[in-house]
A and B are shown apart, each in its own frame.
Chain A
């Protein structure tokens, strides 16, 4: 449907169309998410099988030195004149064996139970006094076990590459050609294999400092690593889906299930209000600033944009101080004869409205920056004909600008929505989750979002497993929404179109 067709519908039809479009895209998004996950896994599986196939056939076809390199890595390359390459493979093998024997196997051995020796007291035979004997550290077993598994995967890749390389060297040799020397091979890394050169360092960094911690935390969600099972004093172990069941189970008193429900509701309300208030007000301001007859455009823009230029922690801490019970805003209210308001500590509603309003102060400038360009692209004749029909600016805004912008910027809106679900700074620095009047909330206040709850669960109460489970759930929601965005913008953003 083009924009003109869309505009010819009645407002209620337009609304129905938008709604239909959104809800219709949720299953697509979900399907895309899980389908993509499955497809990715399947692709990996297929590649793995293909790799194995080549692995087997190369062994039967290859000659002696190729066969030897199935045990002594790099042997094939070494005997065919590729000394450097051969030695590199050999070094990789030696490193892996040393790593596993001295380090990896010790932890992998206990990976299934995450340790079974608890630290305990024992009478020391020499001194006769009780001494603490350190037990297994489940956390280290899990962390290093995961590391060992990841390194093993990488090593398998290198190992298979080694057999392929040995076989290829043999074939080249048989054909009577000369194998590439180390120098030639290295030169190729600047041209034909340049992607390997460029990607290796970032991929290494991301694997160690993003993927490894992520896998670790995902695994934590399936253990009972909570405040009662904190290493090194205590052990924790695998519990399957129990943590997820706890998060969804509502029971009497303060419970994780109740907290999760309440915080999810508030997170959604927050994300909707924070997104749309910023969007609409930012757009109105952008329209005003960009109106042709308005002068000093740079001045106005700078005035608003300067608030996002200031580091966010400064402006938010500042706001938090200004809004204190005896802060300057209440002083001004005093001048005007109004009673002071406790913005953060009275009721949940006041605190929630406050954070949404302050978030406007923080977020509206972003919308001004992002939408200015698009607003300028709205066909001028739409406005002209509206003016001839006698439409007031307000009518023009709601009948032309807003529908047009919604039509064009839906992906941007969804992205902002996802960003707001994860909006940690505003809540953490302004209210830190407070007020804490609801006794049934577990380790959370009434303005806590799921992400700030996650943070509190790890930092304050050591409920790592719950935090990890909440993180996974937030991820699924965000990933689904992002996929919807991606599908929507796919047609408009073809990466090859400029070339």
Chain B
């Protein structure tokens, strides 16, 4: 009886292993296909077989040398610059707003929180057209600062997660610090922030990754000004019907190059997210 129970369990485990393995392969196979074909030497858009016949580094080299139509290095730099600046501004806004809502008590605090929540429910691109004309009035369309503004201006609305984190830090800490004569400003910088590393890193990484992934806004703001594109829009342009035949393989290699750093950052961010949110914060 016991033996058969053990056997049953082993069989169940084997079934699960097989299932996970098969599904896992299906899951990553498109990405593996992407990596392999980014080294493909022959053919244009598609080839009638699964693995490439010849491998080469040319696709990667061309990305950096053949920059007349598509200036990939420039796009990469653009995205990096935009990401750094909007990351700084959005991180500051998010932390400031969430700290205020979590730790400070003032008149109409509830009202501000509610307004923030309602604003977050509108579909994002509803505002894009108006945003475009607003930026145009400021003479900022087709420039990189416009992107920084768009990515970071609304960031304060994403206060929910870090507010939840700050809520878990015992208020007794604030009170003790106040008795010792610390101002709220000092409490924020010297007590709360040093205790909030997980959520700090999480916020920074989210803000940094954002500009690498967005393409709608860039498309609207940049129009046909290709030298100010970000990587996402540029790569999308490469698979437009008119360019696809010539640039498809470069699209693949370009995708690999942008995916690697973002993937690493994302996996890091997940760790901090788990640490910051599910672990229940800092123990007092």
Interface stretch of the complex, out of A56-64, A196-204, A236-244: A196-204
B2 contacts the other chain (Cβ, under 8 Å)? no
How close is A305's CB to chain B, nearest CB, in angstroms? 7
Does the CB pair A209–B170 fall under 8 Å?
no
The residue in chain B whose Cβ has the minimal distance to the Cβ of A193 is B106
Interface string of A317-355 (1 = CB under 8 A from B): 111011010111001101100000000000000000000
Known A311-B262, A479-B118, A495-B167; contact A217-B99, beta-carbon cutoff 8 A: no
Q: DSSP class of A's interface residues: helix, strand, loop or mixed?
A: helix
The residue in chain A whose Cβ has the minimal distance to the Cβ of B153 is A209
How close is B23's CB to chain A, nearest CB, in angstroms? 7
Does the CB pair B121–A479 fall under 8 Å?
yes
Contact of A217 among B13, B16, B126, B168 (CB under 8 A): B126
Tally of B interface residues using CB under 8 Å:
91
A373 contacts the other chain (Cβ, under 8 Å)? yes
Interface stretch of the complex, out of A75-83, A108-116, A160-168, A286-294: A286-294
Does the CB pair A205–B100 fall under 8 Å?
no
Which residues of A are found within 8 Å of B118, using beta-carbon distances?
A: 479
Interface stretch of the complex, out of B28-36, B59-67, B70-78: B28-36
B197 contacts the other chain (Cβ, under 8 Å)? no
> How many residue pairs bridge A and B at CB < 8 Å?
238
What are some 9 contacts across the A-B interface (CB < 8 A)? A198-B96, A201-B92, A206-B153, A209-B131, A294-B13, A294-B20, A304-B24, A311-B262, A475-B123
Does the CB pair A191–B130 fall under 8 Å?
no
Instruction: List 9 tightest A-B contacts by C-beta distance, closest first.
Output: A213-B130, A202-B156, A209-B153, A213-B127, A194-B184, A190-B185, A191-B183, A309-B266, A471-B126
- Which residues from chain B sit less than 8 Å from chain A, CB to CB? 9, 12-13, 16-17, 19-20, 23-24, 27-28, 30-31, 33-34, 45-50, 92-93, 96-97, 99-100, 102, 104, 106, 109, 111-112, 114, 117-119, 121-131, 133-134, 137, 149-150, 152-157, 167-172, 183-185, 188, 209, 212-213, 215-216, 220, 232, 235-236, 239, 248, 251, 255, 258-259, 262-263, 266-267, 270, 278, 281
Q: DSSP class of B's interface residues: helix, strand, loop or mixed?
A: helix
Known: A203-B156, A318-B33, A498-B168. 18 other contacts (CB 8 A): A191-B183, A195-B100, A198-B97, A199-B112, A209-B134, A209-B154, A213-B127, A213-B128, A220-B130, A285-B23, A307-B28, A308-B266, A309-B262, A314-B34, A322-B33, A328-B33, A475-B121, A482-B121
A451 contacts the other chain (Cβ, under 8 Å)? yes
Does the CB pair B270–A369 fall under 8 Å?
yes
Does the CB pair B184–A303 fall under 8 Å?
no
Interface centre among B30, B126, B167 (most CB of A within 10 A): B126
Which residues of B are found within 8 Å of A309, using beta-carbon distances?
A: 262-263, 266-267, 270
